[in-house]
Chain A
Amino acid sequence: MSAAQWRRAMNSSAAAAVAARGQSPSAAVHAARPGPATPASTEGASWRWLRSIAGAIGARHVIVLVALLVYPFVATPFFTYQIGAQSLALGLIALSLTFLGGYGGMVSLAQMTIAGFAAYMLAIFGASSNVAISLGWPWWLALVVAVVLATILAAAIGWLSVRTEGIYTIMITLAVGVAFFYLAQQNYTLFNGFQGFSRIAAPTIGELELRQPVPFYFLVLACALAGYFFVKHLIRAPFGIALQGIRDNPRRMHSLGYDVTAHRVGAYAVAGLLAAVGGILMVWYNGRISPGTVGIGAMVNILIVAVLGGMKHPIGAFIGAIVFVLLQNFAIDLVDRERFNLVIGGVFLAIVLFSPDGLLGLWQSLRTRASARFTHRGTSRTHQ
């Protein structure tokens, strides 16, 4: 883990962002400088230690990647499709929220709305069981149109919600999302009302049937990895650094000459692109789209996934998604099928109350406790 990343992790908790606004002006200035691509130069003393950590991370990356690649060949089709592919697609949508909330400081509840909108657009422009509404364009054209339209919608929602700040964002995006849900439910001419669209399948390219579990898993994995590394790259690019500066202190960034509104709307558009891709994968996974997919429960689920994993790091979205999907599938064995919401609500409540940084925060605090003991022992040895 590089120093820039480390510093970010120290003050990027979405929950603490408001509280930290006044406390970390220096961090904001550091982050504000465009292109401070000098990792660890400031923390020269711990440089070696950081490099060893970075080496360890690299090894872990390789292990995770290999595990992800081997997974579909050892797991049953149920685990490949229902657990693997679904968690990765859900994680991609949650990743858009992690990017927006963790690095932009704007917690939006409308990410599922954008994903659902992309899915609806795919159904309307592409092929579905409803021939009266679906235009039946070739899948790749419908796909591009759906993603572009959803990104535009995301930018529009962003433009609307950045007019106010902080806690208002969550309210406005919630209102927008619920309004879209009611619109999709009421409107029969465009969204086909309560029934929505069904029989929307992943396409077949040549001999490759993408709807089969293993090919579909690899499709979702490719998209998820692309999204993950895109976000990881973006948060170190000038745009991402400026965005984090705006999160920490918008007024200072404004007086430094940055266009705060444009950066925020841009962040919404980027997050919208990720959510749209996730939404397309989601509709291919489910095969259908109906108002229930974009209901308030689904919108909140994305927030639960992101918070569960932790918004400090992009990987949190995927960890949260895996835990969420596992709970969704196996909590039934522990409790009544009807009581799933109680379980997930309780887990969410416990995380928010006791570990605001999610499972990653829990892991990090355990590790810092362990490493603090380790480094303490190490320094005492050098002193001898």
Chain B
Amino acid sequence: MTTRRMTRGQWGLWLLFGGPVAVFVVWAVSDNPPLFFKTLLNGLTLASLYFLVASGFTLVFGLMRNVNLAHGSLYLFGAYVGWFVGEHTGSWVLAVFAGFLSAALLGLLMQLLVFRHMQGQDLRQTLVTIGLSIVLADLMLWIWGGEIYTFDPPSWIYGSTTLPLINKFPTYRLMVLLASIVIGVGLWLLLARTRIGMMIRAGVDDRGMLAASGVNVQLVFALTFAIGAGLAGLAGVVGGTALSISPGEDTRYLLASLVVVIVGGMGSVVGAAIGALLIGLAEQFGLAYAPTYSVVFTFVIMVVALAFKPRGLMGKAT
């Protein structure tokens, strides 16, 4: 009985929000197919970037209840270190590794030196991350200056690919999409199929119980923080190649990951994927079809998600 009523309500919601979207899709496809599909692909690429950044954010929050507002700084830090390594070795692949490792190391240090000592004080941790993000942003501005840096991706993913319906699309962006799907699946496998993933999931559900059953929780925390931060750094190099890196990008990606996890639900990797898809698509379609109001779409999605599911689409009631 209740389930049937629930489904009816869900049908109503789907119609309410899906209807206008479907009308828009039909109109846009009939009006200008190349623009529509190009925007769609751009949106998917952006969504995959957002997913890479936000998955680390949501993982760290889910396990440690730590809202890491320095997450954008980790993104930018990974990007800068990756650029430095790439410039000196000439290898883009090494740059990606350097981005991952440097951000992971920084995240690990943050967890070991600061957050470990203030567990359970959510607000204080958040304030510390704000302070850290200010200091880090200024240090990075000091070291790398205000210039805009760009990467040179290796030749095998350089150039463009001809796709049906779209004339040409940068190969690299397709690779970003592919890579993030691979990383997303890898993350899911890590969480769902390995012992350490099991510990992380158990920790998200009940930290105290996990500690009581003899697991070294501090080790799990440190590892999760490193993975989350490393993903941000990796996204920094990948995103920096697709777009560019400059001061201010940290805020942009911090906002993106905030909105993505608010919409998707804190602590859920699947939620991060769904949220990233919604936000990335909304942003690109907004830019293509209503340039001066594109932020409003992102915002409306967040408001609607909060209004109907305050804990996010995939969030659990705690």
Binding site for B on A (CB under 8 A): 14-15, 17-19, 107, 160, 163-164, 166-168, 170-172, 174-176, 178-179, 182-183, 186-189, 296, 300, 303, 307, 338-339, 341-342, 344-346, 348-349, 352-353, 356
Report the bound CA distance from A307 to B124 in whole Å.
10
B132 lies within 8 A of chain A by Cβ:
yes
Is the Cβ of B122 less than 8 Å from the Cβ of A352?
no
Interface stretch (choices B42-50, B85-93, B290-298): B290-298
Closest to A190 in B: B292
Is the Cβ of A341 less than 8 Å from the Cβ of B295?
no
The answer to whether residues A18 and B67 also contact, given A186-B292, A345-B131 and a CB cut-off of 8 A, is no
Is the Cβ of A341 less than 8 Å from the Cβ of B69?
no
B227 lies within 8 A of chain A by Cβ:
no
Report the bound CA distance from A102 to B92 in whole Å.
49
Residues of A within 8 A of B121 (CB): 15, 18-19
Q: How many A-B residue pairs have CB under 8 A?
A: 115
> Within B124-142, which residues are at the interface with A (CB < 8 Å)?
124, 126-128, 130-132, 134-135, 137-139, 141-142
Residues of A within 8 A of B38 (CB): none
Is the Cβ of B134 less than 8 Å from the Cβ of A14?
no
Is the Cβ of B67 less than 8 Å from the Cβ of A172?
no
Residues of B within 8 A of A352 (CB): 124, 127-128, 131
Closest to A179 in B: B299
Q: How far is the CB of B96 from chain A (nearest CB, A)?
A: 28
Is the Cβ of B128 less than 8 Å from the Cβ of A178?
no
Is the Cβ of B130 less than 8 Å from the Cβ of A303?
yes
Is the Cβ of B296 less than 8 Å from the Cβ of A183?
yes
Report the bound CA distance from A139 to B114 in whole Å.
50
B303 lies within 8 A of chain A by Cβ:
yes
B255 lies within 8 A of chain A by Cβ:
yes
Closest to B310 in A: A163
Q: How far is the CB of B134 from chain A (nearest CB, A)?
A: 3
Closest to A184 in B: B295
Is the Cβ of A348 less than 8 Å from the Cβ of B131?
yes
Report the bound CA distance from A339 to B141 in whole Å.
9
Is the Cβ of A186 less than 8 Å from the Cβ of B255?
no
With A160-B303, A175-B258, A189-B292 already in contact, 14 other A-B pairs whose C-beta atoms are closer than 8 Å: A15-B124, A18-B120, A18-B122, A19-B120, A160-B306, A167-B126, A168-B262, A170-B123, A171-B262, A175-B259, A183-B299, A186-B295, A300-B134, A345-B134
Report the bound CA distance from A176 to B303 in whole Å.
9
A contact face: mostly helix, strand, loop, or mixed: helix
Residues of A within 8 A of B311 (CB): 164
- The interface on chain B, measured as residues whose beta carbon lies within 8 A of the other chain's beta carbons, has a size of 43
Is the Cβ of B124 less than 8 Å from the Cβ of A356?
yes
Is the Cβ of B255 less than 8 Å from the Cβ of A353?
no
Partner of A178, one of B131, B139, B141, B255: B255
B212 lies within 8 A of chain A by Cβ:
no
Can you spell out 20 A-B residue pairs with CB atoms less than 8 angstroms apart? A15-B123, A18-B121, A18-B122, A164-B311, A170-B67, A172-B306, A174-B255, A175-B262, A179-B298, A182-B255, A182-B295, A300-B130, A341-B134, A341-B135, A345-B134, A348-B130, A349-B128, A349-B131, A352-B127, A353-B114
The answer to whether residues A179 and B135 also contact, given A167-B122, A303-B130 and a CB cut-off of 8 A, is no
Is the Cβ of A339 less than 8 Å from the Cβ of B296?
no
Q: Which 4 A-B pairs have the closest CB atoms?
A: A345-B134, A349-B131, A345-B135, A341-B138
Report the bound CA distance from A342 to B122 in whole Å.
24
Is the Cβ of B292 less than 8 Å from the Cβ of A188?
yes
Residues of B within 8 A of A186 (CB): 291-295
Q: How far is the CB of B76 from chain A (nearest CB, A)?
A: 14
Report the bound CA distance from A189 to B299 in whole Å.
19
Q: How far is the CB of B53 from chain A (nearest CB, A)?
A: 14
B1 lies within 8 A of chain A by Cβ:
no
Q: How far is the CB of A298 from chain B (nearest CB, A)?
A: 12
Residues of A within 8 A of B141 (CB): 338
Is the Cβ of A296 less than 8 Å from the Cβ of B292?
no
> Within B254-295, which residues are at the interface with A (CB < 8 Å)?
255, 258-259, 261-262, 266, 291-295
Is the Cβ of A166 less than 8 Å from the Cβ of B292?
no
Is the Cβ of A187 less than 8 Å from the Cβ of B130?
no
Residues of A within 8 A of B207 (CB): none
Residues of A within 8 A of B251 (CB): 178, 296
Report the bound CA distance from A349 to B134 in whole Å.
9
B307 lies within 8 A of chain A by Cβ:
yes
Is the Cβ of B134 less than 8 Å from the Cβ of A167?
no
Q: How far is the CB of A21 from chain B (nearest CB, A)?
A: 11
Closest to B132 in A: A349
Report the bound CA distance from A195 to B142 in whole Å.
27
Closest to B296 in A: A183
> Within B109-125, which residues are at the interface with A (CB < 8 Å)?
114, 120-124
Residues of A within 8 A of B138 (CB): 339, 341-342, 345
Candidate in A19, A186, A303, A352 with the most chain B CB atoms within 10 angstroms: A352
Is the Cβ of B142 less than 8 Å from the Cβ of A339?
yes
Residues of B within 8 A of A356 (CB): 124
Candidate in B127, B141, B303 with the most chain A CB atoms within 10 angstroms: B127
Closest to B117 in A: A353
Closest to B126 in A: A170
Residues of A within 8 A of B261 (CB): 171
